[in-house]
Amino acid sequence: MMVRMPTHLAFLRAINLGAKRKFPKDAIKAACEQAGFSAVETYINTGNVRVTSSLRSRAKVEAALEAAFRETAGFEVPTIAYTRTEFAEIGRDAEELTAERELARHYIYLLKEPVADPAVVEALSTDDHRAVVRGRACHLLLGPSYEAGGVDPLRAEKLLGVATNRNCNVVTTLAKKWC
């Protein structure tokens, strides 16, 4: 009987920012493979990676990837992992929330741990911008008055813990491609 190994989608935080935190996708892929992960695939150069492993625990997958990335990149790389099922739900939520109203931007914070009190984050919402917490994701729905320049005009990030953000297009594309 063939045992199917779980697939995880992992999102790296704070890479390719400035000259000292460079970590190209080919190096990410090599680090994953050297750490024993298989079926490794990356998507664009912002720290999106799909891996297969005999590890079933999200915490163990994150720890193994973080150790491999630290060894290869030479700096800490916080990593947030999801199962395919978890990430597919985030993709569906993104599509649903985007369809609700006219938006200038929709960013999604991918969270290492659930927010202790989602109501506190959602209370930052204004008439034009909303923060919506669903599971280990926080959707920032930025209305027409949003002017490009910052991802988080509501200042929700400081309440989220370890997180990394992606735009809605990346999240929905990866949910369709990898889930």
Give yes or no for residue 127 having a pLDDT over 80: yes
Strand 163-167 relative to strand 105-111: parallel, antiparallel, unpaired? antiparallel
Average pLDDT over residues 77-95: 97
Looking at residue 149, its pLDDT comes to: 73
Percent of the chain with pLDDT over 90: 85
CA-angle at 110, arms to 54 and 68, nearest 5°: 40
Give residue 2's pLDDT.
Answer: 60
Domain ranges of the chain: 7-84, 85-178
pLDDT per position as a tens digit, 5-31? 899 999 999 888 777 889 999 999 999
- List alpha helices for the chain, DSSP H: 25-34, 58-73, 84-100, 118-122, 168-178
Residue 116 has pLDDT above 80, yes or no: yes
CB 87, CB 174: distance < 8 Å:
yes
Please list the residues that pair with 70 across neighbouring strands: none
Q: Which CATH architecture has domain 7-84?
A: 2-Layer Sandwich (3.30)
Taking residues 164-169, what's their average pLDDT?
A: 96
pLDDT tens track for 58-82:
999 999 999 999 999 999 999 999 9
Question: In this predicted structure, what is the pLDDT of residue 3?
Answer: 62
pLDDT at 148 exceeding the cut of 90? no
pTM: 0.94
CA distance 8 to 51: 5
Return mean pLDDT, the chain: 94
